[in-house]
Structure 1
Amino acid sequence: MPASRHVGLALAVAGSAVTGAALPSPAHAESTVLHVDNGPRSNCSDSGTGTRERPFCTVQAAADAAGPGQTVQLAPGRRFTGQVTVRRSGEPGRPIVFQGAEPTVHAPNASVGTRSWGRGPAPAPHAFVLEGVHDVTVTGLRLDAPQEGVLVKDSTRITVDHNDVEAGDPVRGGVRAFPAATPSVRITGTGSYVTVSRNRISAAPVSGVAVDAGTSGVVVTTNLIAGGAGRGVLVTDAPGTIVVANTFGRNCGSDLEFAGNSTGSVAENNILAKRPAPRCGTAAPAAIPLVVSAGSVRSTRVDYNTVVPSGPYAYSWGDTPFATPEAFRAVGQGASDNAVDPGFPADREDYTPAAVTGVTDAADPNALGTPATDLLGAEPADHPRFPSPTAWGYRDRGAIELQDPLRVRLGARPLPRPGHPLNARLTVGYTAGWAPGTATLDFGDGSAPRAVDPGHGTVDHDYPAAGSYTATLTAGGPAGPVRTSTAQVVVGPAGRH
């Protein structure tokens, strides 16, 4: 894997002088994990110990008990209604972590906030509020609220990672809870070294991420920000903000805007594909995907982006619009930018780019703020069709790394029949990958392996003696990855049951 300047490196330089609220020492410091489960059979108690056998009922109770280095583990699939206000801080290298399902585990995320409301009192405004704290991570959760899903204020070394966020809309089902819409995620006050990474932020009414005046060292990376009525990311008077490797799709407003005085900022490796939906109205095509104000152009760098406008202009630089990446280069920016269609599938929920020249293996893999894995938790994959634009590695533009489609799948069951008492039927699936390669099926009995063509089918095989065998399907080659799948085959008397 190519070397990358990971997000953690950007955070490591943060100072350690920030302190959280003066609260008593955590009561459960002896445990690394504090469990939260409000299920009907969970035996939960907010005055309990936070063990798996006696979890907390609410996330707030766990948040009030957690200390540096502890993880607040939310039970997958549970809904925790209301706002979590984080009052405790972790330590450098020992954050307090609020965690739902791991991104690689196919389990339903725990939900925090308020997904719907009707008659009765207004719901809690936010899912998470982090104010005046440091060294806290919120990850693997579904966050929904009528105001900001995550509000980070006057806080340092905060990570908001791998969440599904749909927040900021005060109206739900025709019922208004608050006067105005807000961003889905906001970093405000004197916050510093805040990372918003690998989140799915959808249907943002104002902006997906807002970085406000007074903040510094903010990194917005590898997020999918799509389908919003407003902007994707709005940075206002926040110098040095890094916006790298995000995918923006079908937002009505500008996808990325540096406003006010946001000098020394970076926009790299992003895909900005506007194509607004009809719901955006007639004004939407005029929205310029990438905007840098006159007060933000000094020392700001724009490069390795794919910018696909829906109107006449792709960029605004210091109040001057530019229609194409080629025209934009006149200001000394965007040397590797292009306007290539990323080839998103027709399904509006899928923003995986196709294998397209200018997008696949076309990013700067050493861009500051780039995490080790993409939005889906996958590592960079080197497509043999596309030479890397740099000498030090390969990476795709946007939040989702295109993966080699090479797949194998093997199943087996005994299928004795007249004249073939030790016969088994193996079910074979083989999807060819990017690189030339072969697939072979080894029956596990010492007989010659059989070549397998791409596709799906069945293979019958007579085993030499009753017993248990391990069949193996292997595909790939020296120019690409190798995949294997195994199946246990039991034939003879035991296999008939």
Structure 2
Amino acid sequence: MPVPRRAGLALAIAGSAVAGTALPFTAYAESTASTESVASTESTVLHVDNGPRSNCSDSGSGTRERPFCTVQAAADVAGPGQTVQLAPGRRFTGQVTVRRSGEPGRPIVFQGAEPTVHAPDTSVGTRHWARGSAPAPHAFVFEGVHDVTVTGLRLDAPQEGVLVKDSTRIAVDHNDVEAGDPVRGGVRAFPAATPSVRITGAGSYVTVSRNRISAAPVSGVAVDAGTSGVVVTTNLITGGAGRGVLVTDAPGTIVVGNTFGRNCWSDLEFAGNSTGSVAENNILAKRPAPRCGGTPPTAVPLVVSAGSVRSTRVDYNTVVPWGPYAYSWGDTPFATPEAFRAVGQGASDNAVDPGFAADREDYTPAAVTGVTDAADPTALGTLATDLLGAEPADHPRFPGSTAWGYRDRGAIELQDPLRVRLSARHHPRTGHPLNARFAAGYTTGWAPGTATLDFGDGSAPRAVDPGYGFVDHDYPAAGTYTATLTAGGPTGPVRTSTARVTVGPAPIG
């Protein structure tokens, strides 16, 4: 049965709690990361642009014609329901300290690229620094605030790229984060390394979702003591010298649908007293990075301390170790998912190879039994879209995950490779002055399908074979037409491509 959009969210909100805490944060993460939640009127948007021709001023009003020069200036005046829109392609050096709060349902949103496009070209923080310079410690700091979202940005810093302290309903969504390393180019800016993202203090309902977090020297995400209701979902956390996610004395933390790879130490660790936590639908693939220098003695992908085992749930994960053990549960190591089931956990865990490309940093899994359509779509913290903004795709070769529908494990949902493309040009020739030539092509996807080309003039569509070729068509009258190539099948997606062409009388030689 297909999973409707936001079905996982509705299920999580309707009947679930962790450690006695209700879960409104799941819906919050989804809604605040969408432009649908932000009013489209110009008055709700504060523009920031430090370009040489931007006419910017930090004492201005933040209009498109007179934007702020710095993100901090906009942060100091932004209010509930407003979006701070950062100009594309700009680099904003320095730390942004958020001191103002939104309201439930009306967050303050700091936005770079559109949240559905995961290729941020707008950066905040200090990416490079020279000897003698004073780089800003963080990209964003939230302390004692609530209802704020940061999305669509590249975040660089020598300390935590995002530091959330004593704050509630904060969403960090669709960003690229590379932070926590105090040494760049041989220059040391701070004494010690830190996590890339840290949630600390007495905050609650913080969501870290759909981010690429790379090369973290300590951990990609650290959830510290005192926090509650934290969700880490649908992130790609790779290439770190330390751990992927470290949860310490933070009961009820949910870590769902993430992809881990090339981290030197544990991918996911619940330490201290982190009871009632959840680890589901993750891919923990310990493909070693060359700089790890061999297997560290405690490089167990999934670790749950003795103080965290009570009421904690581990299931539907794919755990591939590169050392002798895949799990540590209450200080007892287990080599395989089968052995791990002796403690009553991991009933649907496995150790299958997810099929990541070996020659590049591509963490899209292959079509693999045990990974494709093998997640729990009802897991707490599951979002409606994946890291790349794609909705779940039902692969016809695999049965649905559960009676509720289908989801892939990890942060990236495998998509049907069906592709279509169409272009056109006026192609008059003797006897055919209104002829157009179309270059039409499509690739077959997961299921058999057909393709048709509608010329946009009311004539019957023409069937198109798989591959790439040319189709000629005579139009009945001069004019501009929009043709549409449609490909798909009864059990797969339907995709289209359009092309406009203008035809008219032309001299024929």
Q: CA deviation at 1:42?
A: 0.7
Q: CA deviation at 1:62?
A: 0.5
Distance in 1 separating the partners of 2:507 and 2:62: 47
1:177 is aligned, of 189, 199, 202, to 189
The question of whether the paired residues in 2 share the 8 Å contact of 1:269 and 1:397 is answered with yes
The equivalent residue for 1:21 is: none
Q: CA deviation at 1:385?
A: 1.1
Which secondary structure state, in structure 2, belongs to the residue aligned with residue 412 of structure 1? Answer: strand
The question of whether the paired residues in 1 share the 8 Å contact of 2:118 and 2:387 is answered with no
Distance in 2 separating the partners of 1:384 and 1:494: 50
The equivalent residue for 1:280 is: 292
The question of whether the paired residues in 2 share the 8 Å contact of 1:103 and 1:376 is answered with no
The equivalent residue for 2:8 is: 4
Map residues 371-386 of structure 1 onto 2, 5 A cutoff: 371-386=383-398
The question of whether the paired residues in 1 share the 8 Å contact of 2:120 and 2:176 is answered with no
Map residues 182-261 of structure 1 onto 2, 5 A cutoff: 182-261=194-273
Which secondary structure state, in structure 1, belongs to the residue aligned with residue 194 of structure 2? Answer: coil
Q: CA deviation at 1:81?
A: 0.2
The equivalent residue for 2:165 is: 153
2:143 is the alignment partner of 1:139: no
The question of whether the paired residues in 1 share the 8 Å contact of 2:295 and 2:323 is answered with no
CA distance change for structure 1 residues 351 and 173 in 2, over 3 Å: closer, same or farther? same
Distance in 1 separating the partners of 2:434 and 2:382: 55
Which secondary structure state, in structure 1, belongs to the residue aligned with residue 307 of structure 2? Answer: helix
Number of equivalences: 482
Amino acid at match of 1:300: T
Q: CA deviation at 1:223?
A: 0.3
1:130 is aligned, of 142, 154, 163, to 142
The equivalent residue for 2:17 is: none
The equivalent residue for 2:416 is: 404
The equivalent residue for 1:115 is: 127
The equivalent residue for 1:19 is: none
Distance in 1 separating the partners of 2:449 and 2:303: 45
CA distance change for structure 1 residues 251 and 176 in 2, over 3 Å: closer, same or farther? same
Map residues 9-20 of structure 1 onto 2, 5 A cutoff: 9=13, 12=24
User: Could you state the TM-score of these two structures normalised by the residue count of structure 1?
Assistant: 0.93
Q: CA deviation at 1:433?
A: 1.8
**CA shift digits 1:421-447 (9 cap, x unpaired):** 333221112021212211122333455
Amino acid at match of 2:97: T
The question of whether the paired residues in 2 share the 8 Å contact of 1:191 and 1:214 is answered with yes
User: Could you state the TM-score of these two structures normalised by the residue count of structure 2?
Assistant: 0.91
Which secondary structure state, in structure 1, belongs to the residue aligned with residue 416 of structure 2? Answer: coil
Distance in 2 separating the partners of 1:464 and 1:120: 73
Distance in 2 separating the partners of 1:108 and 1:137: 16
The question of whether the paired residues in 1 share the 8 Å contact of 2:118 and 2:388 is answered with no
Map residues 449-460 of structure 1 onto 2, 5 A cutoff: 449-460=461-472
CA distance change for structure 1 residues 469 and 121 in 2, over 3 Å: closer, same or farther? closer
Map residues 430-445 of structure 1 onto 2, 5 A cutoff: 430-445=442-457
The question of whether the paired residues in 1 share the 8 Å contact of 2:12 and 2:378 is answered with no
Q: CA deviation at 1:485?
A: 1.8
2:180 is the alignment partner of 1:168: yes
Q: CA deviation at 1:463?
A: 3.5
1:82 is aligned, of 79, 84, 94, to 94
Amino acid at match of 2:325: Y
2:353 is the alignment partner of 1:341: yes
2:50 is the alignment partner of 1:46: no
Amino acid at match of 1:4: G
Map residues 344-355 of structure 1 onto 2, 5 A cutoff: 344-355=356-367
The equivalent residue for 2:114 is: 102
Distance in 1 separating the partners of 2:473 and 2:506: 17
Distance in 2 separating the partners of 1:78 and 1:230: 31
The question of whether the paired residues in 2 share the 8 Å contact of 1:68 and 1:96 is answered with yes
Q: CA RMSD in A?
A: 2.1
Q: CA deviation at 1:448?
A: 4.3
Amino acid at match of 1:51: T
CA distance change for structure 1 residues 229 and 494 in 2, over 3 Å: closer, same or farther? farther
Distance in 1 separating the partners of 2:118 and 2:334: 43
Q: CA deviation at 1:381?
A: 1.0
Distance in 2 separating the partners of 1:192 and 1:256: 20
The question of whether the paired residues in 1 share the 8 Å contact of 2:117 and 2:388 is answered with no
Distance in 2 separating the partners of 1:389 and 1:123: 47
Q: CA deviation at 1:276?
A: 0.9
Q: CA deviation at 1:279?
A: 1.0
CA distance change for structure 1 residues 490 and 213 in 2, over 3 Å: closer, same or farther? same
2:478 is aligned, of 466, 488, 491, to 466
**CA shift digits 1:239-268 (9 cap, x unpaired):** 110000000011111100001111110000
2:324 is the alignment partner of 1:312: yes
The question of whether the paired residues in 1 share the 8 Å contact of 2:124 and 2:154 is answered with yes
Distance in 2 separating the partners of 1:466 and 1:196: 55
CA distance change for structure 1 residues 11 and 59 in 2, over 3 Å: closer, same or farther? farther
Distance in 2 separating the partners of 1:110 and 1:447: 47
2:78 is aligned, of 59, 66, 74, to 66
Which secondary structure state, in structure 2, belongs to the residue aligned with residue 235 of structure 1? Answer: strand
Which secondary structure state, in structure 1, belongs to the residue aligned with residue 367 of structure 2? Answer: coil
Which secondary structure state, in structure 1, belongs to the residue aligned with residue 8 of structure 2? Answer: coil
Distance in 1 separating the partners of 2:104 and 2:121: 27
Distance in 1 separating the partners of 2:218 and 2:143: 22
Which secondary structure state, in structure 2, belongs to the residue aligned with residue 329 of structure 1? Answer: helix
Identity %: 89
Distance in 2 separating the partners of 1:208 and 1:79: 23
Bigger mean CA deviation after superposition, 66-75 or 239-248: 66-75
Map residues 20-35 of structure 1 onto 2, 5 A cutoff: 31-35=43-47
Amino acid at match of 2:151: T
Q: CA deviation at 1:460?
A: 2.7
Which secondary structure state, in structure 1, belongs to the residue aligned with residue 76 of structure 2? Answer: helix
The question of whether the paired residues in 2 share the 8 Å contact of 1:340 and 1:358 is answered with yes
Q: Give unpaired runs (5+ residues) of structure 1.
A: 15-28
Amino acid at match of 2:330: G
CA distance change for structure 1 residues 392 and 108 in 2, over 3 Å: closer, same or farther? closer
Which secondary structure state, in structure 2, belongs to the residue aligned with residue 294 of structure 1? Answer: coil
Distance in 2 separating the partners of 1:388 and 1:397: 12
Distance in 2 separating the partners of 1:133 and 1:448: 61
Bigger mean CA deviation after superposition, 470-479 or 93-102: 470-479
Q: Give unpaired runs (5+ residues) of structure 2.
A: 14-21, 27-40
Amino acid at match of 2:293: G
The equivalent residue for 1:24 is: none
